[in-house]
Amino acid sequence: MDQQLDERAASEMAAKVRDTADDLATETEKAVQDGIDQTKPLLGDLRARADAAIEGASDLARRASAPVVHAVDAIQAAARDVGQAATTVYQQGAQAGGSVSRYTAEQPLTALAIAGAIGYGLAYLIHRH
C-alpha cells in the first residue's frame, strides 16, 4: 500500500510539475511575444530613420558631385582650348620661320643688314645703363 501511495504521489507530483512547466512555458511565450510586439514599432521607426539617413546621404552625394562634374567638364574644355591655341601658335611659328628662311634665301644681303641692325639695337639696349 505504501508503494501504491508513493506511486500515486509521484504521479500527482509529475502531473503538477508538468502543469507548472506548461504554465511557465505559456507565460514565457507570452512574455517573449509581448517583447516582440513592443519592439516592432521601434524597429520600424529605426528602419524609417535609417532609410531617411541613407536618402539624405545619397542626395548630398548627388548635389556634391554635380559641381565636380561641371568643374571637370570646364577643365577638359580649357585643356582642349589650350591645346588648340598651342597648335595654332606652333603652326604660325613654323610659317614665320619658313617665311624668314625664304626671305633670307631670296634677299641674303638685306637679311644680313636686318640681322646686324637687330644685333646692334640689342647690344645698345643691354650696355646703355
Q: What's phi and psi for 107, nearest 5 deg?
A: -130, 70
From CA 113, how far away is CA 99, in angstroms rounded?
17
Report the percent of the chain where pLDDT is more than 90: 17
Flag whether the pTM goes above 0.85.
Answer: no
Distance CA 12, CA 19 (A): 10
Helix 2-106 to helix 108-127 angle (10° resolution) is 110
Contact 111, 104 (CB under 8 A): yes
- 112-121, pLDDT tens digit by residue? 888 899 999 9
